[in-house]
Amino acid sequence: MKLSKTLAMTAVMLVLGAAAATGPAYAATSASQTPSLTARSSSLSPFNVLIEQSDNGKTIRIPRGTGVFLNLKSDGRLGRWSIPTASDAAVLRLTGSTLDSDGYMRTYFDSGVPGTSTIKAVESFSPSMVIVPFEVTIVVGA
């Protein structure tokens, strides 16, 4: 039985999400204008970072080998998110992305070599074509 690419990608994202549901999650927070990595919840393993719209414009430092989960929610005004991209694929490699029926763009990146990569996406609205940018910088350490 051959699976479609969309179905296969959805299955991969579900498996990745289920496999990661065991430890504290981490996200960027601002303290004195210096974003840092802090615990957010217990939905992911300690080797993954959860990034959401509230992290827009922040810089997040992670150790090498950390997975990056990006969840962007459309606000429901006919908006749709683009597939997020990383500026340096050697630092952050896109491994899966799906747009759920509930409006979430769910994307997973694997961190690779130490360095800096910026994840970018845009939410566009029809018919006015208003564009809402999202950008977060990831610094992968050794």
Question: With bands split at pLDDT 50, 70 and 90, how would you rate the model's confidence at 142?
Answer: confident
**Where are the domains positioned within the chain?**
5-141
Q: What local confidence, expressed as pLDDT, does residue 46 receive? A: 55
94: CB partners within 8 A, 6+ apart:
83, 84, 85, 86, 107, 108, 109
Task: State yes or no: pLDDT of 122 exceeds 80.
Answer: yes
Q: What local confidence, expressed as pLDDT, does residue 76 receive? A: 65
H or E segment and range at residue 73: strand 67-73
Using the 8-state DSSP alphabet, how is residue 41 labeled?
Answer: -
* Strand partners for 87: none
At the second CATH level, the architecture of 5-141 is Sandwich (2.60)
Task: State yes or no: pLDDT of 28 exceeds 70.
Answer: no
Task: State yes or no: pLDDT of 70 exceeds 70.
Answer: yes
Both tokens of 109, joined, read 């990146």
Strand order in the sheet with 104-111: 48-51, 67-73, 104-111, 92-99
Whole-angstrom CA distances from 52 to 32, 40, 110, 121, 142 are 20, 11, 17, 12, 24
Work out the percent of the chain whose per-residue pLDDT is above 90.
Answer: 49
Q: What is the mean pLDDT of the chain?
A: 75
Q: What local confidence, expressed as pLDDT, does residue 22 receive? A: 34
H or E segment and range at residue 5: helix 5-19
